Structure 1
């Protein structure tokens, strides 16, 4: 496996670690509705940071975005909005199925859809089944799914041992939402593929290859922001006992603290895709769709490891921790199989 591919895999791991930790600052927010907290963090993640990074990277921001036709930008924006719908469904899935079952089903579906649909739509599926490297990367996807399923099983054992139940368990509703989440969340993978003309234009302007995907986030995350912020604002306007005015009427020290923690959580959410861009740039072009598989499987891996570090599994007993450990090892093996496949 080449050093470039190895670094690409490691950058995807760093991005997934940021995603697995992003909610920790949100837990420090007090006396705010979830909608206000999510909107503040999202504004930083989906609007402020993408525009700030683009302003730093590009010699002329407006000329860059003005150089693309609506027919180029609209699919990217709509795939971003698709990803945004997946974000909302992700939270609702956890509500009706619980963390372990929800994550397992949603991540498993988005891993398959986001990884395999891109080459199928592009007419490149023969690269997967017709070459040794392609077949090995397919094997890596299968092993990753086994790893995700194993970690999910560990979570179920933990929840059963600790008596944790879904907030409003509803299997039928939860499964529908999990499938929708899995499909719509893959919009980020589709958006990155559609944004290749933007990446090429950034490279032509002299932007470092590691950063060429970042300007496209203004459009991709703009689509996600419209969906997520719209959902939050509608909820705040229509749902009883929810009020932006009340949330921002807390004592000034708490208000400042809440804004800072929500902004930090949003920044960490953005950083997952910042490093995703670095990892994506280091993956061979014919296998760039594997970035999504690496990101999602590492997300599950890092989520399990973060839980262990934060002692969330302390009272779960030995068996759930043992199953979690096996699942984490399987995901690591899957990443190595994919890396070897891309090197062939």
Structure 2
């Protein structure tokens, strides 16, 4: 399949925008606890969206799944469940830190682990050092980590400059300590998504054999992987719902408020699933170094989530120095994404 780095980067950028936007509708949900709206959101993002897309884009979906290797199906589901722990803690980190700081730390770890570990585990890492494209890709990952560190520095300065009252005006449940450790767990566990994608490639291959277009080959893979993620998140949300007696919120309250809350959660879920859809399409266009698309996705999410943070005035009241650190971090992350795309571009010439 011919690679197209520019198209791949564009699709992955759209995936990053969708991810950065998905949490915004939750700010308008009324009368629901976090576990209530997170469960409602998960049904759309991790069950309905993925399986509907797979059914619409892959001929003979049932036969594809029955013919796919059992190990690929099992490992995709298992890594999806492990990724679900990262998604769950990431959602909590966003709850306690806001859109800006709540993305920077977990995605910093996730970008490094999700990009570097798959080729390391498969034994391909030494080969990366022998080509210009591989070296460029590795440097781009390092640059991305520097950009993430700069964004984290901006978040640290913000924390020092604002009073607790000012922080809670922007983020109602602000809790720095709790948010930080959740961010670390989220970053480590979210990297399992990259492993799930790598292990599930035989599913995509079977989809192509059954007539699926190459650009849609990953939709059944993501359907299985995200089902594992939903299992983890749903289990924890139900535990919290029983413990806090909030499960009844899914059916209680004024009909108008219920309808509006479900609409907002569906919108959030649709936006989140667009990440998987666009990333799955873009990843097929990134050439030999398609694994680098993961770091591009992480960088794009941080860039656009910080823009949302500015829109929600999460940085209101901070000094010009702090905002300069934030702008510098975003600029470095853009550079990282461009370097990664260039590395993939170089790889297309080295393959001949």
Secondary structure (helix, strand or coil) at the match of 1:130 reads coil
Q: Are the counterparts in 1 of residues 96 and 174 from structure 2 also a CA contact under 8 Å?
A: yes
> Is 2:324 aligned against 1:322?
yes
- 8 Å Cα contact 1:105/1:178 also seen in 2: yes
1:122 corresponding residue in structure 2: 122
Tell me the residue number matched to 1:255: 258
Deviates more, 1:68-77 or 1:33-42: 68-77
Asked whether the equivalents of residues 33 and 247 of structure 1 are also in contact (C-alpha less than 8 Å), the reply is no
CA contact (8 A) 1:147 1:330 kept: yes
CA deviation after TM superposition for structure 1 residue 19, in Å: 0.7
Query: Which region of structure 1 is more displaced relative to structure 2, 66-75 or 327-336?
Result: 66-75
The alpha-carbon deviation at position 316 of structure 1 amounts to 2.4
How many positions carry a matched residue from both structures?
A: 338
Distance change in 2, residues 1:328/1:169 (3 Å) = closer
TM-score (norm 2): 0.89
Q: In 1, are the aligned partners of 2:99 and 2:305 still within 8 Å (CA)?
A: no
Aligned equivalents of 1:5 and 1:102: distance in 2?
29
Note the C-alpha offset of 1:187. Answer: 1.0
Alpha-carbon contact 2:148-2:333 (below 8 Å) kept: yes
Corresponding residue for 2:235? 230
Distance 1:303 1:71 in 2: 36
Give 1:135's aligned residue. 135
Conserved 8 A contact 2:5-2:285: yes
Pick from 280, 283, 289 the counterpart of residue 283 of structure 2.
Answer: 280
1:302 equivalent among 279, 285, 304: 304
List aligned pairs for 1:91-102, cutoff 5 A: 91-93=91-93
1:261 to 1:21, Cα distance in 2 relative to 1, 3 A:
same
What do residues 173-205 of structure 1 show as CA deviations (whole Å, max 9, x unaligned)?
766544332221011111111111111122223
The residue aligned with 1:74 is 74
2:42 corresponds to which residue? 42
> Cα gap change, 1:308/1:168 in structure 2, threshold over 3 Å: closer, same or farther?
closer
Contact 2:289–2:344 (8 Å) recurs in 1 = yes
Aligned-residue Cα RMSD (Å) equals 2.2
Please give the per-residue CA displacement for 1:34-63, whole angstroms capped at 9, x wherever unaligned: 111111110011111111111111222211
Distance 2:235 2:133 in 1: 43
Q: How far off its partner does 1:234 sit? A: 1.1
Question: Helix, strand or coil: the match of 1:207?
Answer: coil
1:95·1:169 contact (CA, 8 Å) conserved in 2? Answer: no
SS at match of 1:27: helix
- Paired residues of 2:35 and 2:241 also in contact (CA < 8 A): yes
CA distance in 1, matches of 2:229, 2:124: 28
How far apart are the structure 1 equivalents of 2:200 and 2:301? 23
Q: Distance in 2 between matches of 1:250 and 1:174?
A: 30
Post-superposition offset of 1:93: 4.3
CA offset at residue 22 of structure 1? 0.5
In the TM superposition, 1:202-217 aligns within 5 A as 202-217=207-222
